[in-house]
Homo-oligomer: A and B are copies of this chain.
Amino acid sequence: MRTTIKDIAEETGFSITTISLVLNNKGDSIPKVTRDIIKKTAKEMGYRPNQLAVGLIKKRTKTIGLIISDIRNVFFSTLAKAIEDECHKHDINLILCNSNDEHKRDIDYINVLADKRVDGIIYGMSSDSDFDKATESFELMNDYFLPFVMVDRYFDSNMYYSVSTDHKYGGYLATKHLIERGYERIGCVTGPIYLKDSIDRLEGYKCALEEAKLMYDDSIIVEGNYTVESGMKAMEYLKDKDISAVFAFNDMTAFGVYNYAKKMNISIPKDLALVGYDDIFFSEILETPLTTIHQPIDEIGILSVKILLLLAQGSKLKKNNYLLKPSLTIRKSSGIR
């Protein structure tokens, strides 16, 4: 067995209370000699408090849960890294929960995390969650008095907290950039159109067009599903729509556009300009590096941890939905000025 507070009480002859007081730096009233003795033998015996026992009393475990759909997705692994780093700074541990995009598993994890008495949850909702399913999750966490903050995906509401990217602004940035480079017929390959982030990006696209007094043309908007394949398939359709540029709603889709262009001997950016979204690592090392919208993932991670910790200590914040600004990363795929 590991040494307990009792062991060091026996060893030093002081009472358990005294030991506890000293070791928690609350022993101002205890003579320095005593303190020193206790601290010394505690160290010698390799004493470290059992956090299960501490948690039981203090009702805080210095542990939070992270529920996300798939850690293999670079977006989430980058996010998880940022979150873990920030947690480490605050001396907090992170329980990783991979939902595989199954709402049922979200619920499972919420229960288990509650049983483990985590201090809160950072919740990246599974993508099959409609409003009802999301509400089920929210209510469960509320029943458990578990503070939580949503990341990435969210619904507009003041019922909970969320941190996400301002995708409307991102869509606007991407489109505006292409317009400034002189492209006027800009095809879009969206994500699943029932997803808020896709809707927002399209909204931004429309704004940029409007600002430039360009017509919005429904016929050059294609719904994809954020995969390479959907990018290729979309191009199949777009190829004879007389477009001069494409705004792919994520980088994976953009890779599909590249692949199709290569096959058809279409040169990027000479024949077709391309802008992606996400700025995942590979976009940079492509033959023709991809101009793309960079999501402030690290900031999202850091902010969500900070908010969660505030909530966990009982604070209430005024603002509910935090939207972080993405930025434009200009590379070669969008042509040369």
Residue ranges of A at the interface with B (Cβ–Cβ < 8 Å): 2, 46, 48-53, 55-56, 61, 63, 66, 70-72, 74, 77-78, 80-81, 84-85, 88, 93-98, 100, 105, 111-117, 143-145, 228, 255, 258-259, 262, 282, 285, 287
A95 touches B63 (CB 8 A): yes
Residue of B nearest to A80 (CB): B71
Residue of B nearest to A229 (CB): B285
Chain B contacts of A112 at CB under 8 A? 93
Chain B contacts of A105 at CB under 8 A? 88
B97 touches A84 (CB 8 A): yes
B72 touches A71 (CB 8 A): no
- State in angstroms the CA–CA spacing of A56 and B4 once bound together: 13
Q: Report which of B48, B52, B84 forms a contact with A111, defined as CB distance below 8 A.
A: B48
- State in angstroms the CA–CA spacing of A287 and B263 once bound together: 9
Q: How far apart are A108's CB and chain B's nearest CB, in angstroms?
A: 8
- State in angstroms the CA–CA spacing of A141 and B337 once bound together: 58
A-B contacts besides A51-B115, A52-B55, A259-B287, 8 pairs, CB < 8 Å: A50-B117, A52-B52, A52-B116, A53-B56, A63-B95, A74-B77, A95-B95, A96-B96
Chain B contacts of A94 at CB under 8 A? 95-97
Q: How far apart are A222's CB and chain B's nearest CB, in angstroms?
A: 19
Chain B contacts of A66 at CB under 8 A? 96
Q: Report which of B51, B115, B285 forms a contact with A117, defined as CB distance below 8 A.
A: B51
